[in-house]
Amino acid sequence: MSRDDTPYKTYLAEDELPCAWYNMRADMAQKPAPLLNPATLEPVTAEELERVFCTELVKQELDDTTPYVPIPDEVMRFYRMFRPSPLVRAYFLEKALGTPARIYYKFEGNNTSGSHKLNSAVAQAYYAKKQGLKGVTTETGAGQWGTALSMACAFFGLDCQVYMVKCSYEQKPFRREVMRTYGARVTPSPSMLTEAGRRINAEHPGTTGSLGCAISEAVEAAVSQEGYRYVLGSVLAQVLLHQSIIGLEAKAAFDKIGDSPDVVIGCAGGGSNLGGLIAPFMGEKLRGECDRRFVAVEPASCPSFTRGRYAYDFCDTAKVCPLQKMYTLGSGFMPSANHAGGLRYHGMSATLSELYSQKAMEAVAVEQTSVFEAARMFARTEGILPAPESSHAIRATIDEALRCKSEGREECILFGLTGTGYFDMTAYQKFNDGEMSDTVPTDAELEANFAQLPKV
Amino acid sequence: MSRDDTPYKTYLAEDELPCAWYNMRADMAQKPAPLLNPATLEPVTAEELERVFCTELVKQELDDTTPYVPIPDEVMRFYRMFRPSPLVRAYFLEKALGTPARIYYKFEGNNTSGSHKLNSAVAQAYYAKKQGLKGVTTETGAGQWGTALSMACAFFGLDCQVYMVKCSYEQKPFRREVMRTYGARVTPSPSMLTEAGRRINAEHPGTTGSLGCAISEAVEAAVSQEGYRYVLGSVLAQVLLHQSIIGLEAKAAFDKIGDSPDVVIGCAGGGSNLGGLIAPFMGEKLRGECDRRFVAVEPASCPSFTRGRYAYDFCDTAKVCPLQKMYTLGSGFMPSANHAGGLRYHGMSATLSELYSQKAMEAVAVEQTSVFEAARMFARTEGILPAPESSHAIRATIDEALRCKSEGREECILFGLTGTGYFDMTAYQKFNDGEMSDTVPTDAELEANFAQLPKV
């Protein structure tokens, strides 16, 4: 097709919105490995999971054969509040790079949670409400997930208890305040409200927390309160299922304008955005209908795919969650300071891990100063100030577009612009002031953590 | 039409975007009074204005007869980056209020400047670039305008110097950082860089500044640097012209869905949003094609319309700008602390002032605690965290919708949702903590300021 006749932004009409989520696992010949009970090391049962998670969500978690799951009407109603998100043609960025590549991004940041996280938060809150629960507990790192869940719980009238990694709680008071405006109770983690928190505080006085630790607290809070369950914003297969709305909408928009991506790029923390964005495109590849590349982008400071091990590991610090086979840096891995809080998790989605191990997907690790250079260029050309997490995908996209330029190839690149950076200005300030640095773990550090992997 | 068959969000297609701005003054029988030279008190000439403002913008400022001004291609290109904005049907708010009214809002907050300000910033930066200028200077209060101008200048390759009211500079470091990311130089006002700033600092040691003072500094900086002009984000007729894109798009969307507003509501600081939103709807009324109500909403702490005088007054503290006939509280009026920084200006658009004096428009003043109650309700039902300024319009809309409920009337209400509140979380925190209060000026305070109005 001609390079210049696609619209700047493509919005689906409301009656063109996908009405079912797509379960990528259904098309995988080799399925992701099952979750294991941390006590018995046997595959975890639905009954065991239902003590922690909502019943319907457990069903979705364990179902790796049903390809399409209808989106409930009440979730569709909420989706219409902030969806469809636009598929944007990055004409300005293309011009600035002088690339023959066509660059598109699916922009998920135009909602008050500031990211794609709302897609799964709505679904999870809906199922919790439908089950008759009083409320849900969760953890949040950078705060996008906690904000999204607060919004969803306010809508469905559920109590929302958020354990927020202490350093984020302190560095991002405004994110906390958005959650409070939506009625959530936000507690800095590790707290003194849970056994897990008290133990971590005793063992590591003055610690500013970690996602793994906040997960432990939130799970404990869920199982110790009547009428509560725990919900999680990434990593799990159910989350990727809900997030498939990103890719499904993107694919429908591409079909509408008559284009199709050769490369799909997304940042990868736990995998919620990447798994959702690539879903239908990967489905085509898995079914042998077409070939294309998929690129996961992770921070060099937390390189789960590019330097991790594919092994069973714990998802949380207190080791109360099921074990998952995934690319991992070890549950004790503490990433160095990095401003992409949403990408600082030691593990990775089991589905994506399996796809990566099958070489259906590639991965690159990028350093944060080069990420912020890309972010600034994108902000100035495309007019959107991106979240640090999303900017990892921008970095890789620019690199791919420059490769296309040097090779003279007119490829079509799609990347996920997961969110906006309005609550990340401390990071931008560091970058603007020239005070941002890069650190990567040493091989010795990684080996020490690998040595602690559970023997399964 | 049936209540429930309009879409949640209506987006115009790119080829449906308005391609000319609408100049409301062309349809006014009684035009706004001319600007006066502050030294001579004679109507200001184009030549005098061109020392301060860009040439093409002066032409637009003084032209009160041409109804439509074509939008330049380069501005249209930039508009496509963030426009069209959606016309949203507030189904969730309607349901929460149990009102028979149909509520719509035109949402201008989904761009990185966070507000409608970008509509005029792009136009002004374009004309400055076209004139061959090196850069522009401006002031900013809450920071939306400064951010918008920074984005526009980055796009067109212009230097951007922003004088930011000192209390905002200190309270909103993140807004400042967004401007810096776009390459702007941001200076807290009053500064020691200008004569005006040094004088104000000497006369009022420790002052945290005001918009009037920052305007004086920015104007001085423009006229004292070769190749610079001053640009302003509100009040002026040229700004209302550019902002008419809001109303034109809204009207086109209403035509598309077959509805039409009975009441149009907008917050009013200097009038940029309100004047732009109402433009084509007021045009119809001025031409006698239909009748409908228009409601300006202002803070009770800065009640220019509802308690001000319609008189010639200075636009800035140092009295270097032209005098304008407008509703004013006096250029020496210092509004009490209010979190809607964008509404704390002593004066008002001359065009809107004339319309209000002709009773073509109504005005209401609302107190900020009731504004934040409305904001919280809106955030929880409609999923968008509104800016404090915009929330003034939400307050009035809720009040109108409740009136419709008590009167059993199915009116159609349109309001302007000018921006998002992501950089206003300090205000939300005060509200969430129950620490927000209301203050209104006493009659004696206002009279003392009215006594200082220039004798024209």
pLDDT, tens digit, 9 for 90 and up, residues A217-252: 999 999 999 999 999 999 999 999 999 999 999 999
Of A422, A451, A442, which is closest to residue A110 (Cα–Cα)?
Answer: A422
Residue by residue, pLDDT tens for chain B (456 residues) are 455 689 999 999 999 999 999 999 999 999 999 999 999 999 999 999 999 999 999 999 999 999 999 999 999 999 999 999 999 999 999 999 999 999 999 999 999 999 999 999 999 999 999 999 999 999 998 899 999 999 999 999 999 999 999 988 988 889 999 999 999 999 999 999 999 999 999 999 988 888 888 999 999 999 999 999 999 999 999 999 999 999 999 999 999 999 999 999 999 999 999 999 999 999 999 999 999 999 999 999 999 999 999 999 999 878 888 999 999 999 988 887 778 888 888 999 999 999 999 999 999 999 999 999 999 999 999 999 999 999 999 999 999 999 999 999 999 999 999 999 999 999 999 999 999 999 899 999 999 999 999 998
d(CA B383, CA B396): 19
For residue A291, what pLDDT is reported?
Answer: 94
User: Are A39 and A216 spatial neighbours (Cβ–Cβ below 8 Å)?
Assistant: no
pLDDT score recorded for residue A209: 86
Q: How many CB pairs under 8 A join A and B?
A: 106
Chain A residues lying within 8 Å of B112, measured CB to CB? 379, 383-385, 420
CB contact under 8 A, B428 and A178: yes
Q: How far is B445 from chain A (nearest CA, A)?
A: 35
Cis-peptide, bond into residue A67, ω within 30° of zero: no
pLDDT at A3: 59
Helix (H) or strand (E) holding A188, with range, is: strand A185-189
Q: What is the pLDDT of residues B101-142, one digit of tens each?
A: 999 999 999 999 999 999 999 999 999 999 999 999 999 988
Closest residue in B to A382 (Cα–Cα): B81
For residue A329, pLDDT beyond 60: yes
Residue of B nearest to A434 (CA): B181
CA B235 to CA B214: how far, in whole Å? Answer: 15
Residue type at position A250: A
DSSP state of B294: E
Residues A140-165, mean pLDDT to the nearest whole number: 96
Q: Using CB atoms, which residue from A80, A174, A379 is nearest to B8?
A: A80
What local confidence, expressed as pLDDT, does residue A340 receive?
83
Show residues of chain B in contact with A112, CB under 8 Å: 379, 383-385, 420
Mean pLDDT of A362-391: 97
- How far does B108 lie from chain A, in Å, by closest CA? 11
What are the start-end ranges of the H helices in A69-210? 73-82, 91-97, 118-130, 144-156, 166-171, 173-181, 195-203
Interval A81-111: pLDDT, tens? 999 999 999 999 999 999 999 999 999 999 9
Residue for token pair 């923390």: A269
Backbone Cα Rg of chain A:
20
Q: How much is the pTM?
A: 0.96
- Report whether B385 contacts B427 (CB < 8 A): no
* B151 in contact with chain A, both atoms CB, cutoff 8 A: yes
| A-chain residues near B384 (CB < 8 A) | 111-112
* A173·B429 Cβ contact <8 A: yes
State whether residue B422 sits within 8 Å of chain A by CB.
yes
What was the pLDDT predicted at B2? 56
Local confidence band at A2 (pLDDT 50, 70, 90 cut-offs):
low
Pairing between β-strand A68-70 and β-strand B9-10 as defined by DSSP bridges: unpaired
From chain B, pick out residues whose CB is under 8 angstroms from the CB of A383: 78, 81-82, 111-112, 151, 155
- Given a cut of 90, whether residue A338 has pLDDT beyond it is no
Q: Name chain A contacts of B381, Cβ cutoff 8 Å.
A: 155
The Cα of A336 is separated from the nearest Cα of chain B by a number of Å equal to 24
Cβ atoms B278, B418 nearer than 8 A: no
With CA atoms as reference, the chain B residue closest to A154 would be B380
> Residue A399 in 3-state DSSP?
helix
Residue of A15, A87, A151, A385 for testing the chain B interface, max B β-carbons within 10 Å: A385
User: Of chain A residues 160-199, which have a CB less than 8 A from chain B?
Assistant: 173-174, 177-178, 180-183
Q: Out of A173, A376, A426, name the one closest to residue B181 (CB).
A: A376
As for the ipTM of the complex, it is 0.95
With a cut of 80, say whether residue A400 has pLDDT above it.
yes
List the structure tokens of A451: 């040595």
